[in-house]
């Protein structure tokens, strides 16, 4: 069995419409490279016949391997499963919707050959709504401010990782996985380039506003405890100002006697303080929730079916 040079990991959730054209484009990009390659498709619990398409592909192309989850576990879990399956000296992660153009693969491989462990293809934001662009820009600024890891604007999950970088990512045990941060955390020599963004070929994006916001909060909280620190700072400053204000009131009473107390001031103080307290409790709650989640040590996904024997073997299969 020849050693695998490149593994392409493709998470797929309800992608049956594009899978055929994606696969053709991917093969057209991979074949001329002359490398031994494999394509690791991960069906993330699709309900639209994606897994049937994968079975067909695997039956007629020996370089296709697949794993199918028992339900939708999310893209992070699918990428993890794909990386665990992969055997290549270089691993490329890409989306199935042709928004990550396979034509860029030779360029990524070329950069990898020059010694880079991570090659990141960043999308510019053509074809995206102005509101979404502005929101993502602001978000990345916030993330850069809060996290210890550097994440470039537009850097999605389209990247090539060397075997040692993949092994490093796989060695991180956390349940709450925020890949963009994990990739950046493992380090190694990283290089990036920008390509023109394209709208998805068919099907619908799985990232509605709400899901994006939740993903955003996850990203912010999963990397360090700086938000907690912020809460402590806010609390301290508020306490100090309250102390100053109390001293001023006491002094005022001592000098001028009791005046009619200010209702407005009182209400403002109460409302502002309870707001800060609630927000702080929320932040703490998020972290406690995360600890609870990690402490359960659940697997990241459950496999329903796979094309191969090995660690993913499903009971009842030969």
Q: Which helix (H) or strand (E) holds 160?
A: strand 155-162
- CB nearer to ligand UDP: pick between 78 and 231: 78
CB closer to ligand UDP, 17 vs 63: 17
Q: From the list Mg ion, ligand UDP, none, which binds 227 (C-beta under 5 to 8 Å, kind-based)?
A: none
Backbone dihedral region for residue 118 (phi beyond 0: left; psi -120 to 50: alpha; all else: beta)? beta
Q: Which is nearer to ligand UDP, 209 or 244 (CB)?
A: 209
| The CA-based dihedral angle spanning residues 178, 180, 186, 190, taken in that order and rounded to the nearest 10 degrees | 170
The interface partner of residue 17, options being Mg ion, ligand UDP, none and the CB cut-off 5 to 8 Å by kind, is none
From 17, 44, 63, 97, residue interacting with Mg ion (rule: CB under 5 A): 97
Q: Is 4 left (phi over 0), alpha (psi -120 to 50) or beta?
A: beta
Residue of the chain from 200, 226, 290, 304 that contacts Mg ion (CB under 5 A): 200
Distance CA 141, CA 138 (A): 5
Which among 195, 222, 219, 23 has a CA at the least distance from the CA of 126? Answer: 195
Please, which residue, 99 or 162, has the CB nearer to ligand UDP? 99
Nearest to 161 by CA among 3, 1, 7, 318: 7
Nearer to ligand UDP, 15 or 38 (CB): 15
Size of the site for Mg ion (CB under 5 A): 4
Question: How do 118-123 and 155-162 pair as beta strands?
Answer: antiparallel
99 binds Mg ion (CB under 5 A): yes
CB of 145 to ligand UDP, least distance (A): 23
Interface ranges with ligand UDP (CB under 6 A): 11-13, 15, 44, 72, 74-75, 78, 95-97, 99, 200, 205-207
- Pairwise CA distance, residues 289 & 292, whole Å: 5
- Residues 18 and 201: beta-carbon distance below 8 Å: yes
Please check whether residue 180 is in contact with residue 155, taking contact to mean a CB–CB distance below 8 angstroms: yes
Q: Which of 65/75 has CB closer to ligand UDP? A: 75
Nearest approach, Cβ of 36 to ligand UDP (angstroms)? Answer: 24
Q: How far is the CB of 199 from Mg ion (least distance, A)?
A: 9
Write out the E strands in 181-241.
190-195
x-marked contacts with Mg ion along 9-48 as a string, rule CB under 5 A: ----------------------------------------
Q: Which residues bind Mg ion (CB under 5 A)?
A: 95, 97, 99, 200
């Amino acid at each position: 069995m020849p050693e695998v040079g490149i593994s392409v990991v493709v998470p797929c959730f309800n992608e049956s419409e594009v899978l055929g054209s994606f696969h053709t484009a991917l093969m057209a990009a991979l074949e001329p490279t002359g490398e031994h390659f494999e394509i690791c498709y991960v069906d993330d619990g699709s309900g639209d016949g994606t897994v049937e398409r994968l079975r067909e592909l695997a039956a007629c192309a020996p370089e296709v391997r697949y794993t199918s989850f028992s339900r939708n576990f999310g893209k992070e879990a699918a990428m993890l499963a794909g990386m665990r399956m992969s055997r290549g000296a270089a691993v490329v992660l890409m989306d199935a919707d042709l928004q990550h153009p396979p034509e860029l693969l030779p360029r990524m491989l070329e950069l990898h050959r020059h010694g880079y462990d991570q090659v990141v293809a960043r999308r510019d934001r053509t074809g995206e709504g102005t509101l979404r662009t502005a929101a993502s820009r602001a978000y990345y600024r916030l993330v850069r401010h809060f996290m210890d890891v550097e994440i470039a604007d537009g850097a999605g999950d389209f990247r090539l990782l060397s075997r040692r970088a993949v092994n490093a990512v796989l060695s991180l045990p956390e349940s709450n996985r925020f890949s963009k941060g994990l990739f950046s955390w493992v380090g190694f020599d990283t290089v990036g380039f920008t390509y023109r963004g394209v709208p998805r070929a068919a099907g619908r994006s799985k990232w509605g506003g709400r899901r994006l916001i939740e993903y955003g909060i996850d990203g912010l909280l999963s990397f360090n405890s700086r938000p907690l620190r912020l809460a402590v700072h806010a609390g301290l400053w508020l306490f100090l100002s309250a102390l100053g204000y109390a001293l001023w009131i006491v002094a005022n009473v001592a000098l001028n006697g009791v005046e009619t107390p200010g209702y407005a001031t009182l209400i403002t103080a109460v409302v502002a303080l309870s707001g800060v307290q609630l927000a702080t409790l929320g932040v703490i709650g998020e972290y406690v929730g995360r600890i609870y989640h990690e402490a359960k040590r659940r697997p990241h996904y459950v496999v329903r079916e796979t094309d191969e024997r090995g660690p993913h073997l499903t009971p009842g299969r030969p």
